[in-house]
């Protein structure tokens, strides 16, 4: 069965205040990086999975994102797949 490497990026929706991002932005300003704005912090998840085809791999990753990896109320996710074997 083909093997895929999935990269799932989970980000807060634009309308949601990113407290962690704001904290990092203030810290960067304190360190002298005053040219920085709009810091936002999300999750970068990589995993390997077996699937009969790329469409199935995509669907399984979407299910994982909706059930566990992302909070659909406040977060968006994107899935990128690469066939590795």
Place of tokens 């074997």: 85
Backbone angles phi, psi at 76, to 5 degrees: -110, 160
Give the span between the Cα atoms of 77 and 43, in whole angstroms: 9
CB of 46 to a second copy, least distance (A): 5
Q: Which of residues 42-71 bind a second copy (CB under 8 A)?
A: 42-51, 60, 63-64, 67-69
38 binds a second copy (CB under 8 A): yes
Closest CA to 71 of 40, 43, 39: 43
Interface with a second copy (CB under 8 A), residue from 2, 16, 22, 40: 40
Catalog residues that contact a second copy under the rule CB under 8 A.
9-11, 21, 24-25, 27-28, 31, 33, 35-51, 60, 63-64, 67-69
């Amino acid at each position: 069965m083909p093997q895929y490497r999935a990269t799932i990026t989970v980000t807060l929706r634009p309308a949601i205040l990113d407290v962690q991002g704001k904290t990092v932005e203030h810290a960067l300003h304190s360190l002298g990086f005053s040219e920085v704005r709009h810091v936002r912090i999300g999750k970068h998840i990589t995993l390997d999975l077996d699937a009969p085809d790329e469409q199935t791999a995509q669907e399984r990753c979407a299910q994982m994102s909706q059930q566990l990896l992302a909070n659909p109320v406040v977060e968006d996710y994107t899935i990128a797949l690469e066939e590795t074997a």
